[in-house]
């Protein structure tokens, strides 16, 4: 069973539907026992870092997430929460990735909304995906580039489009909204 973490962030139902279309059972939950026993855990995301972290802390999910041993995928806000700090609300986040999340420089082009490709790709999440393939992004904050970066996209400046460390994977883009490329990436994660 695939657990989709409920933490009052948007997009959970879209992720659930995408997982089910790939032939997997999925459940949206914040139940600690169900999350611990799930085959995979997904942190979807559309929302704001500070209120999302408050919800995770109130429910004891912040410590639970850090302790998970199965593959975990953070999507958009879910990826940003897996980093160490977000400028959005000056929020201390989970610290799984040693990346800082910052606001794009003030320009008329923020938020980054729409389709974009990659400068570079590596890792199991991107098997069968080419740098010229496009994925769907919608965000005003970005994670800097680090040794944990597995994909880079350039929008105003180069940033981490994906991260990976141990059993934790993350994408700034929305694979559930990224057509065939996104389904390949989700399929790769669900096959880990």
* Cα-Cα-Cα-Cα dihedral sign, residues 124, 131, 14, 64: positive
Identify whether 112 is a catalytic site residue: no
User: Could you tell me the two tokens for 113?
Assistant: 């909304």
Q: Catalytic pick from 16, 112, 148, 174? A: 174
Q: Catalytic pick from 76, 88, 139, 148? A: 76
The beta strand positions in the chain, using DSSP E, are: 2-5, 26-29, 40-43, 72-75, 85-86, 91-92, 100-103, 112-116, 120-121, 135-139, 141-143, 149-155, 157-165, 168-171
Q: How many beta carbons lie within 10 A of that of residue 102, not counting itself?
A: 16
User: Could you tell me the two tokens for 183?
Assistant: 């389904």
Identify whether 83 is a catalytic site residue: no
Q: How many Cα neighbours within 13 Å face the side chain of 12?
A: 17
Q: Catalytic pick from 16, 88, 148, 176? A: 176
How far apart are the C-alpha atoms of 114 and 123, rounded to whole Å? Answer: 24
Identify whether 135 is a catalytic site residue: no
Catalytic residues: 76, 174, 176
């Amino acid at each position: 069973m695939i657990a989709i973490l409920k933490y009052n962030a948007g997009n959970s139902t879209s992720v659930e539907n995408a997982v089910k279309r790939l032939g997997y059972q999925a459940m949206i939950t914040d139940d600690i026992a169900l999350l611990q026993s799930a085959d995979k855990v997904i942190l979807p995301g559309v929302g704001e870092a500070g209120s999302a972290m408050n919800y995770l802390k109130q429910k004891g999910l912040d410590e639970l997430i850090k302790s998970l041993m199965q593959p975990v995928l953070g999507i958009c806000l879910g990826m940003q929460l897996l980093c160490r700090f977000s400028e959005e609300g000056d929020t201390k986040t989970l610290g799984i990735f040693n990346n800082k999340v910052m606001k794009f420089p003030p320009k008329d082009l923020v938020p980054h909304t729409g389709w974009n490709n990659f400068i570079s790709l590596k890792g199991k999440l991107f098997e069968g995906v080419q740098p010229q393939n496009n994925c769907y992004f919608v965000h005003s904050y970005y994670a800097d580039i680090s040794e944990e970066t597995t994909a880079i996209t350039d929008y105003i400046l180069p940033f981490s489009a994906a991260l990976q460390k141990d059993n934790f994977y993350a994408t700034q883009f929305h694979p559930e909204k990224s057509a065939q490329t996104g389904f390949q990436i989700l399929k790769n994660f669900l096959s880990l």
